[in-house]
Amino acid sequence: MTAHRYAIYLSPDEPLLTFGNQWLGRDAGSGARLPAPEGMAPPPSDWVRAPAHYGLHATLKPPFRLADGTDGPMLDAAVRGFVQGLAPFGAPLALRALRGFVAWCLADAGLPEMQALADACVLAFERFRAPPSAEELARRKPDQLTGEERRMLDAWGYPYVFGTFVFHITLTGMLDAAGQAAALERLGAASGRLLETPLHVDGISVFVQPAPGDDFIVARHYGFDGSTTDGAGAAHLAA
């Protein structure tokens, strides 16, 4: 039951989870399609097609194929061990445009707990990451990256880690300036009050892409208190 790709994500808690899933039109926990938030017209499909494919999340360790000699149960055991002793923390969020898309980002960029969590995830699960193919690297458009982002891509398979990491929960695909403004206006009106309460970070999740081209689904959530909750993709972590 090895999946095509695995990823270590942060899945937001309520009420952001329900609103975000409905905005994207898909619940990554079950894989079910969802209607738009109550009283709100569905967003244009080109706004949400790309983020809906990955499910509502913030990236900690981006999607990777499993390295030779590793498997789903080994990754599951590693994540269980990783979360032991981690302490929950709050993360105030704000709605912003970022690199051409719209996302919930940290209200204050310098949140050391979040940076430390992301850095630790990149390092702790690196042994599970198979080297990316030339095609996978090309999809990152290396010619459009800064020098530091290119170095991160070459070293870690992803341009936005460590010093280039920016926490974000993606809500749209790439939009032009007018599209970003329209998305910010609609999302701000509909979800602004949801951001009055900080995001509660008390666990991480493994998402899986079962086969090439499939949408990502939740395999398992791992609480910092040792609890786990299975999603639709749990079989990809089983022996």
With CA atoms as reference, report the closest residue to 114 among 95, 90, 96: 90
Say yes or no to pLDDT of 112 above 90.
yes
Split at pLDDT 50, 70, 90, the class of 210 is very high
Dist CA 135 CA 75 (whole Å): 25
Say yes or no to pLDDT of 110 above 80.
no
pLDDT on residue 70: 97
- Whether the CB-CB separation of 113 and 86 falls below 8 Å is answered with no
Residue span of the structural domain in which 177 resides? 5-237
Q: In whole angstroms, how far apart are CA 140 and each of 90, 133, 136?
A: 31, 11, 7
Q: How many domains does the chain have?
A: 1
Say yes or no to pLDDT of 4 above 90.
yes
Residues 196-213 have a mean pLDDT of: 96
Give me the amino acid identity at 30.
S
Among 87-91, 142-146, 232-236, name the one with the lowest average pLDDT.
Answer: 142-146
Q: How confident is the model over 6-50, as pLDDT tens digits? A: 999 999 999 999 999 999 999 999 999 999 988 888 999 999 999
pLDDT on residue 228: 97
Which distant-in-sequence residues (6+ apart) come within 8 Å of 61 by Cβ?
A: 7, 8, 121, 122, 125, 129
Residue % of the chain over a pLDDT of 90: 90
CATH at 124: 3.90.1140.10
Split at pLDDT 50, 70, 90, the class of 206 is very high
Q: How confident is the model over 66-104, as pLDDT tens digits? A: 999 999 999 999 999 999 989 999 999 999 999 999 999
Q: Say what the pTM is.
A: 0.95
Split at pLDDT 50, 70, 90, the class of 192 is confident
Among 60-64, 139-143, 216-220, name the one with the lowest average pLDDT.
Answer: 139-143
